[in-house]
Structures are given as structure tokens and as C-alpha cells.
Amino acid sequence: MIDGVEDDSVSFMLHQPTGVKLEEILPDEGMCVYCSCGRIVTLDRAEMRLKLSLGKDLQCSECRNKRISLEIDYLNGLFDGTIEEEY
């Protein structure tokens, strides 16, 4: 409860539509796509085409950082000998 207002109404007030469309916020070369986690990612159209042509997923920065961290941990494990290389 905030200042005598119940939590549900505060949540509703914070999430009401503002009337601003994504096209008005984005430059002409930008495009919004969904990450697998559900976040909306704003990408440059050229960057998006390049990633798709390379077979990469379109990810938000948080998912990308997690993926890179796991890849680095895996490579460190291979280098240290704690993980056997898969064939």
C-alpha cells in the first residue's frame, strides 16, 4: 500500500498505455524484435540482417551476456582440463 492506495491500482497506473507508439521513438533504421526471454530489443535493421544471415539469435543484452559468460566458462573448463571435449 502506497499513500493509502492499494498495490493493484498502483500497478495499473504504472502500466497504463501512454499513447506513444514505438515507431515514434525509433529512428527509421531501427526495428523492435522479441528476445526469447520476452524483452523487446531495439536493433538496427542492418545489424539484424547480419545476425540472421549468420544464424545467430536476436537477443537482449542480458541474455547475450549470460550466453557469452557460459561460453567463456565452458572454454575455460576445456583449457583447464576439468571438462572433456565432446566429439
Q: How does pLDDT run along the chain (87 residues), one tens digit per residue?
A: 455 545 544 444 445 555 544 444 555 677 888 888 988 888 888 888 888 899 988 888 899 999 999 999 999 999 988 877 777
Buried b (16+ CB within 10 A) or exposed e, 16-50: eeeeeeeeeeeeeeebeeebeeeeebebeeeeeee
Is residue 35 a contact partner of residue 60, using CB atoms and an 8 Å limit? yes
At 76 the pLDDT is 94
At 23 the pLDDT is 46
At 65 the pLDDT is 94
Q: Which of 46, 76, 84 is nearest to 68 (CA)?
A: 76
At 45 the pLDDT is 84
At 74 the pLDDT is 92
pTM above 0.95, yes or no: no
